[in-house]
């Protein structure tokens, strides 16, 4: 049986087909050659772009914190006591005489009664002493009166005997005896006067000593009375009860905090600022405080040198007084204006770029279908913007996104 073998068809029927295939291969190869050797592709929607702008750039340091009363009163326990009643809680508006809580101390009340009794006893002792001194002085004055009377009698007798002794009616012995008695009586009168003067001085001194005892008793009573009065805890300041770190029935010790009162109108902003920004800050710089409801002008009044958790604390005062929305302990944001750079280039800060640094970023071409790596120098930063000192021109567009996964790429293709 004969087997019929099919004829083999040629791979290329016509020379024209061969020419077409060659042209297609050349075109494909040319396209590959036109692409940059190290180009990567990235979707446009995944990129965040920024446009270089020219203008005045205000250098701003941002911070966050709370409002605090400029005038505060810290109330502490003056003596050991127990919390018997709590009338007000944190957040309550208070007047200076508002009662916040009532403390109790039975022992202190007993001390108060004892001090009152002691004062009354000392005052009674003074009255008794005055009466005794007056009585003693009167007794000595009575003796002086009697001595004066006797002295006057003997004086008259001597004056009478002055003439009689000349005429011989009275003997010389009798006369000399009278003169001696007069001198002795005069001395007794003088001594009695001195005794009375001394007695009066002693009386005055003894009364002064007793009055000092009374003063000491009064001081003791006032001290105990003050501690007793402080058992009724009052605000002492018009404002807001900010803190109350005690509970009903709790025992407190002398010096322990009972409450913190802050003024509702005299407010300051205490703002936390990164330590790295400290060198830009100065007292007197203008600022803006954002209370979430309004933005108010302020001024830096104090910068603490102490660093806590990588931050420093900056005190900002309201330039025209606190707004109505401001309250103690209110969370706020703040912007501190440290400088103004006029007519400079700036752009939104790319990810992972810091102030006064250099970085290689991708610069978009005119049709934004390709981006090439470009070295750029940066200066100061202001909020979400950063100054450009070298490497870009106005209206240039750069990629702001994190491009660390394209470390080896010098060019990237932007695809839709």
User: pLDDT tens for residues 58-87?
Assistant: 888 899 999 988 888 999 999 899 999 999
In-domain check, residue 12: no
Residues 111 and 191 in one domain: yes
Which two tokens mark 60? 């701003």
In-domain check, residue 17: no
Whole-number Cα distances in Å, 146 to 142, 153, 160, 188, 208 = 6, 11, 21, 11, 31
Residues 225 and 112 in one domain: yes
Nearest to 172 by CA among 181, 185, 182, 162: 162
Beta strands in 80-237 (DSSP E): 81-86, 93-94, 99-104, 232-234
In-domain check, residue 181: yes
> Distance between terminal CA atoms of the chain?
66
pLDDT of residue 355: 85
In-domain check, residue 29: no
Residues 143 and 99 in one domain: no
In-domain check, residue 211: yes
Q: Where are the alpha helices (DSSP H) in 230-345?
A: none
Place of tokens 């752009």: 347
Which two tokens mark 415? 């695809």
In-domain check, residue 10: no
Residues 190 and 152 in one domain: yes
Domain count, the chain: 4
Residues 336 and 196 in one domain: no
Residue 335 lies in domain: 63-68+264-340
For residue 187, pLDDT over 70 is answered with yes
Which of the two residues, 383 and 357, has the higher pLDDT score?
357
Greatest mean pLDDT among 29-43, 53-67, 113-127: 113-127
Which of 28-37, 233-242, 328-337 comes out lowest in average pLDDT?
A: 28-37
Place of tokens 């300041």: 237
Which of the two residues, 202 and 4, has the higher pLDDT score?
202
Residues 148 and 191 in one domain: yes
In-domain check, residue 34: no
Which of the two residues, 42 and 36, has the higher pLDDT score?
42
pLDDT of residue 32: 34
Can you give the CATH number for the domain in which 366 is found?
2.40.420
Beta bridge partners of 386: 347, 381
Q: Tell me which long-range contacts 387-391 makes (C-beta under 8 A, separation of at least 24).
A: 387/57, 387/341, 387/344, 387/345, 387/346, 387/355, 388/52, 388/344, 388/345, 388/346, 388/347, 389/345
Of 208, 240, 261, which residue constitutes the final position of a domain? 261
Rounded to an integer, what distance in angstroms lies between the CA atom of residue 244 and that of residue 92?
11
Nearest to 281 by CA among 336, 325, 335: 336
For residue 35, pLDDT over 60 is answered with no
Which two tokens mark 339? 């400088």
**Reported confidence tier of residue 192, pLDDT bands at 50, 70, 90:** very high
Of 340, 366, 398, which residue constitutes the final position of a domain? 340
Residues 114 and 222 in one domain: yes
Can you give the CATH number for the domain in which 245 is found?
2.40.50.100
Of 261, 277, 312, which residue constitutes the final position of a domain? 261
Task: Indicate the DSSP class of residue 237.
Answer: S
pLDDT of residue 132: 94
**Reported confidence tier of residue 384, pLDDT bands at 50, 70, 90:** confident
**Reported confidence tier of residue 8, pLDDT bands at 50, 70, 90:** very low
pLDDT of residue 137: 92
Place of tokens 């001024």: 299
Question: What is the H or E stretch that residue 66 is in?
Answer: strand 53-69
Residues 244 and 225 in one domain: no
pLDDT of residue 218: 96
DSSP 368-397: SSEEEEEEEEEEEEETTEEEEEES--TT-E
DSSP 3-state of 220? helix
Residues 52 and 101 in one domain: no
Can you give the CATH number for the domain in which 176 is found?
1.10.287.1490
Average model confidence (pLDDT) for the chain? Answer: 87
The mean per-residue pLDDT over the stretch 38-59 comes to 87
**Reported confidence tier of residue 387, pLDDT bands at 50, 70, 90:** very high
**Reported confidence tier of residue 283, pLDDT bands at 50, 70, 90:** very high
Can you give the CATH number for the domain in which 310 is found?
2.40.30.170
User: pLDDT tens for residues 146-158?
Assistant: 999 999 999 998 8
Percent of the chain with pLDDT over 70: 91
Rounded to an integer, what distance in angstroms lies between the CA atom of residue 133 and that of residue 177?
38
The mean per-residue pLDDT over the stretch 385-413 comes to 90
Place of tokens 């710089």: 285
In-domain check, residue 300: yes
8 A C-beta contact, residue 61 and residue 261: no
The mean per-residue pLDDT over the stretch 201-208 comes to 94
Beta bridge partners of 53: 346
Rounded to an integer, what distance in angstroms lies between the CA atom of residue 175 and that of residue 147?
21
Would you say how long the chain is, in residues?
A: 416
Rounded to an integer, what distance in angstroms lies between the CA atom of residue 76 and that of residue 61?
38
Residues 256 and 291 in one domain: no
Rounded to an integer, what distance in angstroms lies between the CA atom of residue 360 and that of residue 411?
12
8 A C-beta contact, residue 163 and residue 175: no
8 A C-beta contact, residue 137 and residue 199: yes
pLDDT of residue 174: 87
Query: Is residue 32 exposed (0-12), middle (13-18) or buried (19+ Cβ within 10 Å)?
Result: exposed
Question: What is the H or E stretch that residue 19 is in?
Answer: helix 15-34
For residue 28, pLDDT over 60 is answered with no
Instruction: List all residues 6 or more positions away from 238 whose beta carbon is below 8 Å from its beta carbon.
Output: 94, 95, 96, 263, 264
Place of tokens 């810091």: 354
Residues 335 and 279 in one domain: yes
**Reported confidence tier of residue 39, pLDDT bands at 50, 70, 90:** low
Residues 120 and 219 in one domain: yes
8 A C-beta contact, residue 351 and residue 401: yes
For residue 11, pLDDT over 50 is answered with no
pLDDT of residue 266: 86
Instruction: List all residues 6 or more positions away from 97 whose beta carbon is below 8 Å from its beta carbon.
Output: 234, 235
């Amino acid at each position: 049986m004969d087997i019929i073998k099919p004829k083999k068809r040629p791979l290329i029927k016509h020379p024209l087909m061969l020419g077409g295939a060659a042209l297609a291969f050349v075109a494909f190869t040319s396209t590959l050659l036109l692409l940059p050797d190290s180009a990567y592709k990235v979707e446009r929607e995944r990129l965040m772009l920024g446009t270089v702008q020219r203008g005045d750039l205000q250098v701003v340091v941002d911070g966050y914190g709370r409002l605090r009363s400029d005038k505060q009163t810290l109330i502490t326990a003056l003596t050991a006591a127990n919390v018997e009643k709590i009338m007000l809680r944190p957040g309550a508006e208070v007047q200076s005489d508002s009662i916040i809580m009532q403390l109790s101390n039975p022992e202190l009340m007993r001390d108060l009664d004892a001090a009152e009794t002691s004062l009354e006893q000392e005052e009674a002792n003074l009255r008794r002493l005055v009466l005794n001194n007056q009585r003693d002085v009167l007794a000595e004055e009575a003796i002086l009166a009697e001595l004066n009377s006797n002295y006057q009698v003997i004086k008259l007798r001597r004056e009478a005997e002055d003439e009689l002794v000349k005429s011989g009616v009275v003997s010389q012995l009798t006369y000399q005896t009278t003169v001696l008695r007069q001198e002795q009586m005069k001395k007794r009168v003088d001594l009695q006067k001195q005794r009375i003067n001394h007695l009066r001085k002693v009386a005055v001194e003894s009364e002064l000593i007793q009055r000092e005892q009374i003063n000491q008793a009064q001081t003791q009573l006032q001290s105990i009375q003050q501690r007793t009065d402080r058992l009724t805890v009052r605000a002492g300041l018009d404002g807001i009860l900010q803190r109350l770190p005690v509970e009903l029935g709790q025992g407190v010790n002398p010096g322990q905090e009972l409450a913190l009162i802050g003024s509702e109108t005299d407010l300051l902003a205490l703002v936390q600022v990164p330590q790295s920004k400290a060198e830009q800050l100065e007292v007197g710089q203008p600022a803006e405080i954002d209370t979430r409801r309004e933005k108010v002008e302020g001024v830096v009044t104090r910068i603490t040198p102490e660093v806590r958790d990588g931050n420093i604390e900056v005190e900002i005062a309201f330039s025209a007084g606190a707004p109505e929305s401001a309250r103690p302990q209110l969370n706020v944001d703040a912007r501190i204006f440290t400088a103004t750079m006029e007519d400079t280039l700036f752009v939104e800060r790319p990810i992972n770029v810091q102030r006064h640094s250099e970085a290689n970023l991708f610069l978009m071409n005119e049709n934004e279908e390709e981006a090439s790596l470009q070295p750029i120098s940066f200066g100061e930063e202001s909020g979400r913007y950063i100054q450009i000192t070298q490497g870009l021109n106005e209206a240039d567009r750069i990629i702001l996104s994190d491009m660390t996964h394209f470390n080896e790429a010098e060019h990237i293709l932007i695809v839709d």
